[in-house]
Every structure is written in structure tokens, then in C-alpha cells.
Structure 1
Amino acid sequence: MGSPFSPEELAYLEAHKHDSRVDEIHWVYTVPIVAATISTALRLWAKRLGRNGITLDDYLIVFATICLIGQCASGLGYGPPHGMGRHVIVVSGYDQMMVRKGDYIFSHFYDLALVSVKLGILAFYYRVFVHPVFRRVVLATAAFIVAWGIGITVTLFLACRPLNAYWDANVTGECLTMVTFTYFTNISNLITDIWIFLMPVPMIWHLQLQTKKKLLLSLIFCIGLATCVVSSIRLTVVLGRGSADFTWYYVPLGAYSVFEPLGGILCTNLPIIWHMLRKRRATNRMNDGFLKTHNSNATPTIGSAASRRTRFIHALGITTVDKSRNESVARTVLDNEAVDAGDFHRLESMESQKPDPRIWTTVERVNLDGEASSSAEEVQLKPGMKKTTWNVRR
């Protein structure tokens, strides 16, 4: 059996047989495990903190994270211990078989992770946007993604007959051309990524928002297009799958294969984490402002933060005013907290309070065909005259 390498390639491999990418493999597969695990855990914590409940998109992202961890674990377990990251001429036949077996397991996890991330994003769209036409488009896209995922998974299962011919070079069998299959998977994946991440943009631009806010929302939803860049770069290293020096060229292919689903996971987790934390900080600031306003007896100065909060509370109509002392006290009810009995009684009786005779006096005003007079004494009314009584402070 002849060598798959030309004399020039053999000379190059001999000169570089001590080169190693093992350290690169370790960080390439360790960083995604840490990043995906932490971001997904923070996502669940943020959802629990916001009391929004765990929804379908959360379960799908959790499953995608598990698949990504399976990818990285198979890369670490079947890779460096069996010669991955070294040139094939220094790797034994058994270790070459183990690297190919690891690649088979890795590929299944990769396909499942991609499908789960896409479905998680679509489930999020379905939950957030209620437009019926858009929801039908989301469901149609999800159906296509499910069919696409089933198709590539079944094809990978039937890649070789018998199956062990995929990793064992000593077994005679018929196999698909894996480079062609990988190209198809990568290109179709790139097209669906672009479609999914651009889907909500028309919906955003039909919202009644300022242009600046529409641009910001569109940018947030299009952050996932960064994963399309990774998919495009991965296309440039697909040929490494058919290289005879596969133990060396699997390294960049595996790196892009784990960072692609990682990008999708991060793009769905980080906006939710940021939104929930911002919402939490806003609630804390409102609570702090309530406590300061409730406990302070000093009148807030014009332009101060307390003054701005007081004006905001006045605008909402949730302020009680003590007219006898010429100062206002804001009473705000937050998160099902109830005012005390004295405050509640004062709120109920404020409109029905009778004037204190020591503070208030009665002035009778008589309208006399456009002329007005006021006195503390009774005025003799003529026919057609009208009398009203005002309560004013002395």
C-alpha cells in the first residue's frame, strides 16, 4: 500500500514531527465548557430572580449546553491522549482509530447542539412576539430545523456500512464522502443562522418606538450573526477532514465546531442576564428611594434626586399632602407592601375631613351681576343672587 503523502510532504512531516498542538486543544475545549456552563447557570438564576419562570427556550438552551459539554469532553477524552494535535506519522494505528471514533461522537454532539440552539432562539421569538403571521413563520422555521437536524443525524449514523468502518481502517466498507457531507452541513447551517437572526428585524421596525431604540433592538437581536462569521471560517478548514494528516488538521476544525454553538448560547444568554440584572438594580433603586423619602423629614431641594422622585410620585397620584404644615410626604406601595393603619385611615379620610375651626374660617361670596364682595358677615340676598361658601386659611 502506497503512502498518501508525496515525497515533499513526507520530508515536511519528518522535519516537524515533534510539533504539537496539544496545549491549544486543552484551552480550545476547556474555555467553552466554562463559558457555556457559567452563562447558562446565570441565565437560570436571572430568570428565577425575575420570577419569570423557566420556559421552553430555557430548557432547549440547557440541553444545548449539555451537548456542547459532550462535544468538548469527547474532544479532550479522545484527542490528546491518542495523538490528536500531533502529526499522523508519529501516531500509532490504534490511536488513529480512537481519534476517528472520538470524531464520530463529537460530530453527533455538534449536530444536536446546533439544532438545540436554533430551536431555543425560535422558542424565544415565539414567546416574545405575539403577531400571528410572525408566529406561523417561527413554527415553519422550527419544523424545518427539526427536519434538518433529523436528516443530518440519520445521515451520520449511516455514513458507513458497516458503521465501524468509519473509524477502523482495517474494516472494509462503503462510506460517504465526509468532506462533501461536512460542506453541506456547514453551508445549510450558515443559511439558517442568517435567516433566524434576521427574522425579528422587520417586527422591530413596525413597533411604535423611536428610531434609536429600533436600531438598538435590531443590534441586540443581530449579535448572533457573529456565529455566522465562525461558520464561514469553519468552511475554510473543512478540507482538513479529508486530509491524510487528520490528527493535525482536526484541531482547527474542532475549535470552530465548539465555538460555533458556544456563540449561539452566549448570544441568547447574555441579553437575558443583562436585562434581569438591570431590572433588579432599578427595583433596588426604587426601594432605596422609597426608604429615604419615607424616613426623611427634610424638604427636598429643587433639582435634587429626592425632589425628582417626589415629582414623579406626584405625577402618579400616590402622594398625600399635609396642608397644615406645608410639606409633602410620599407614600409609595411597592411589591405588595401595605401602608400602615394610620396612613390608610388618613388616605381614606383626607377628602372628607372637616376644616379645623382654629385654622379655617368661612367666607361667603355673593355674585351680584358680575360684581363680587366677600365678608365674614351674612349678606342680604336679592332675588337672582347666588351665594357660595369657601373655606380659606386665616
Structure 2
Amino acid sequence: MASPFSPTELAYLEAHKNDSRVPEIRWVYSVPIVAATISTAMRLWAKRYGRNGITLDDYLIIFATICLIGQCASGLGFGPPHGMGRHVIVVSDHDQMMVRKGDYVFSHFYDIALVSVKLGILAFYYRVFVHPVFRRVVLATAAFVLAWGIGITVTLFLACRPLAAYWDVNVKGKCLVMVTFVYFTNISNLITDIWIFLMPVPMIWHLQLQTKKKMLLSLIFCIGLATCVVSSIRLTVVLGRGSADFTWYYVPLGAYSVFEPLGGILCTNLPIIWHMFRKRKGMVMNASAFKTHDSNSNSTPTVGSRRERFAIALGITTRDRTQNDSGNRTMLGADTAAGGAGDWQRLESMESQKPDPSIWTTVERVDTGGLEEGPSEVQLKPGMKKTVWNVRK
């Protein structure tokens, strides 16, 4: 059997037959498993913490994460143990067959993971944007992506007749030109990615928001264009698939093939996680501010706004100079409802500090909703309010 290598290529392979890319393969396939699993788990935690419920886009991203894990597992299982990452001249015929078989399984996981990520992003668009025309565009794009995924999956199943000829060179059969098929898959995938990630930009710029916020939202939605860069780079290394030294040239192709769906998963997970962390941080800060106010509630209140100073000068205010105010009474009343000996002691302390009746008197006003004010003895009816002031005599 004639060698597929020229004398120059054979001399190069002989000189570099001890070279190895195995360590590169191990970390290239291990990092996506960890990153995708952690980010998807944190996405689900964020949705549960925010009580938003699990929606269709979440299920699709979960499925895409499972496919990515399967993709990396097949690369690790069929790769380094069978000579992937080494030059083909040092790899046995059986191991070469196992590498091709692993590539077949790997390709199916790759295609399904890409389709799941795209459909997850489109499902998110459909849920967030309610414009009917935009939703129809989303549904049309989702139908195209689904048809694209089914088409390449079926084509891959029919790549060789019989199918065993795909990985076993001893089986005689008819096969498609896989380099052409992979070029078509990558080019159509790149065009679809650009279209999907730019889709929401016109909708954002029609929102009633400041230009700065529109630009920020557009940037967030266009972060996914980074995966288009990975697709473009992957397209440049597809030619290695047709090389006779496939056990060596499959390594960069496999690396870009796992980082492409990983990029899509991260681009959909990280904004949700970041938003939830911001929301949680704001809740913690508000709780801290409330505790600080509660701990200082017995201190002398400060007079802040000009309106408050003007009201005190007139002797009409909701704050009194015996260090009692409506805010303290409201907070203590709410705390007392929860029960506890400490709260009752605070309530008694507050009662002991009531305004001096020789200085302050109580004035009540009944708001009848546009009618004349009535006396305090008027019975409150629906739509009526009663306001109470402490007024200096």
C-alpha cells in the first residue's frame, strides 16, 4: 500500500515522532466540563433564588451542557488512550480506528450541543421580547436552526454506506467528502451565530431608555459574538481533517469544537448570574441599612430637609423633642408583633418617653376625599383618612 506522505513529510514525522499533544488534550477537554457544569448550576440557583421558575430556555441550556459534557468525555475516552495527540506513524491501525470512531461520536454531540444553545438563546428572546413581529422572526429562526440541526445529524448518519466504513478502512463502502461537509456546517453555523446575536439590537434601540443604557444592553446581548470568533478560527483548521496525520491535526479542531458551545453556554448563563448577584448585594445592603437605623432608633433624631426644619419652627411636626417620632413607633410596633421580651421592654421604654402634655397637644384631621374636613369624632368610611399631628401649644 502506497504511503500517503511524501518523502519530505515522512522525514519530518520520523524526526518528530516523539512529540505529544496529550497534555493539551486533557486540559482542553477538562476545563469545559468544569466551566459549563458550574455556570449552569449557578444559573439554576439564580433562577431559584429569584423565584423566577425554570423555563424552556433553562431546559435547553441544561441539555446543551449535558451534550458538551458528552462531547468532552468522548474526546477524553477515545483520544489520548488511542494515540490522539501523537503523529499517526506511531499509532497502530486499531487505535486509528478507535480515534475515528470517537470522532464520529464527538461530532454528534457537537452538532446537538450547538443546536441546543441556539434554541436556548432564541427561547430567551421569545420570553423577554413581546413584540409580535420580533417573536415571529424568532420562531422562523428557531425553525431554521432546528431544520439545520436535523439536516446535519441525518447527513452524518448517512456519511458512509455501510456506516462502519467511516472509521474502519478495511470496510469497503461509499463515503461523503467530509471536508466539504464540515466546511458547509461551519460556514452556515457562523452565519446563524451572527444573525442570532444581532437580532435583539434593533429591539433594544426602540426602547424608551437612555442612550447609555441602550448601548450597555446591546453590548450584553452581543457578548455572544465572541463565539463567532471561535467559529471563524475553527473554520481555518477544518482543513486538518483531510490530513493523513489526522491523530495530530484533530487536536486543535477538537479544542475549538468544545470551546464554541462552551462560549454560547457561558454567554447565556453569566448575565443571569451577574444580575442575581447584583440583586442579592442590593438586598444585603438594604438589610444592613435597616439594622443600622434600628440600632440607632433611640438616639436623638436629626433634622434633615428644609421642610422638616420649617415644620418644627411652626410647631407642626411628626417628630417631637422628647426623642419620639413616628418612625420609631412604627418600627417598634412591627417588632413587637413578632414577640419577644426585648421588644416589650423597648415598647415600655417608648411609652415612658411620650410627649409632655404640657408642651404638646394632639390634632387630628379627617380627609374625606375632597369634601370639607370633619371633626375627629366623624366615623371613618371607605376612602377617608385620618392624620394625627403632635403640635406645640
Q: Superposed, which structure 2 residues align to 1:54-73 within 5 Å?
A: 54-73=54-73
Partner of 1:6: 6
> TM-score under structure 1 normalisation?
0.81
Structure 2 vs 1, CA of residues 206 and 165 (structure 1 numbering), >3 Å: closer, same or farther? same
Could you tell me how far apart the structure 2 residues matched to 1:142 and 1:361 are? 68
Partner of 1:117: 117
Structure 2 vs 1, CA of residues 326 and 250 (structure 1 numbering), >3 Å: closer, same or farther? same
Partner of 1:28: 28
SS in 2 for 1:275: helix
Kept after mapping to 1: 8 A contact 2:78/2:99: yes
Partner of 1:372: none
Could you tell me how far apart the structure 2 residues matched to 1:331 and 1:119 are? 54
Deviation at 1:6, TM superposition (A): 0.7
Kept after mapping to 2: 8 A contact 1:57/1:119: yes
Q: Superposed, which structure 2 residues align to 1:1-394 within 5 Å?
A: 1-296=1-296, 297-299=298-300, 321-323=318-320, 325=322, 328=325, 330=327, 340=336, 359-360=360-361, 393-394=392-393
The letter of the residue matching 1:136 is R
Percent of aligned pairs with the same amino acid: 80
Q: Deviations over 1:76-120 (max 9, x none)?
A: 000000000000011000000000000000000000000000011
SS in 2 for 1:34: helix
> Where do 5+ consecutive residues of structure 1 fail to align?
312-319, 344-354, 363-389
Q: How many residues matched?
A: 341
The letter of the residue matching 1:278 is R
Kept after mapping to 2: 8 A contact 1:227/1:264: yes
Moved more, 10-19 or 101-110: 10-19
Moved more, 129-138 or 23-32: 129-138
Could you tell me how far apart the structure 2 residues matched to 1:121 and 1:260 are? 14
4+ residue segments displaced more than 6 Å: 331-334
The letter of the residue matching 1:90 is V
The letter of the residue matching 1:70 is G
Partner of 1:373: none
Deviation at 1:288, TM superposition (A): 1.7
Structure 2 vs 1, CA of residues 214 and 327 (structure 1 numbering), >3 Å: closer, same or farther? farther
Deviation at 1:298, TM superposition (A): 2.6
Structure 2 vs 1, CA of residues 174 and 232 (structure 1 numbering), >3 Å: closer, same or farther? same
SS in 2 for 1:237: helix
Could you tell me how far apart the structure 2 residues matched to 1:268 and 1:332 are? 47
Kept after mapping to 2: 8 A contact 1:293/1:330: no
Deviation at 1:8, TM superposition (A): 0.7
Deviation at 1:299, TM superposition (A): 4.7
Could you tell me how far apart the structure 2 residues matched to 1:251 and 1:332 are? 71
Structure 2 vs 1, CA of residues 324 and 21 (structure 1 numbering), >3 Å: closer, same or farther? same
Q: Deviations over 1:202-245 (max 9, x none)?
A: 11111111111111111011000000000000011001111100
The letter of the residue matching 1:268 is T
Structure 2 vs 1, CA of residues 332 and 263 (structure 1 numbering), >3 Å: closer, same or farther? farther
The letter of the residue matching 2:65 is T
Deviation at 1:48, TM superposition (A): 1.1
The letter of the residue matching 1:228 is C
Could you tell me how far apart the structure 1 residues matched to 2:23 and 2:359 are? 88
Kept after mapping to 2: 8 A contact 1:50/1:280: no
> Where do 5+ consecutive residues of structure 2 fail to align?
309-316, 344-355, 364-388
Kept after mapping to 2: 8 A contact 1:293/1:329: no
Deviation at 1:271, TM superposition (A): 0.6
Q: Deviations over 1:338-390 (max 9, x none)?
A: 665599xxxxxxxxxxx96763499xxxxxxxxxxxxxxxxxxxxxxxxxxx9
Could you tell me how far apart the structure 2 residues matched to 1:35 and 1:333 are? 48
Could you tell me how far apart the structure 1 residues matched to 2:91 and 2:227 are? 33
SS in 2 for 1:244: coil
Structure 2 vs 1, CA of residues 300 and 28 (structure 1 numbering), >3 Å: closer, same or farther? farther
Deviation at 1:135, TM superposition (A): 1.1
Q: Deviations over 1:316-343 (max 9, x none)?
A: xxxx944464664547999xx9665599
Could you tell me how far apart the structure 2 residues matched to 1:196 and 1:331 are? 54
Structure 2 vs 1, CA of residues 28 and 391 (structure 1 numbering), >3 Å: closer, same or farther? closer
Could you tell me how far apart the structure 1 residues matched to 2:219 and 2:207 are? 15
Deviation at 1:133, TM superposition (A): 1.2
Kept after mapping to 1: 8 A contact 2:159/2:176: yes
SS in 1 for 2:53: coil
Could you tell me how far apart the structure 2 residues matched to 1:107 and 1:284 are? 46
Kept after mapping to 2: 8 A contact 1:67/1:110: yes
SS in 2 for 1:238: helix
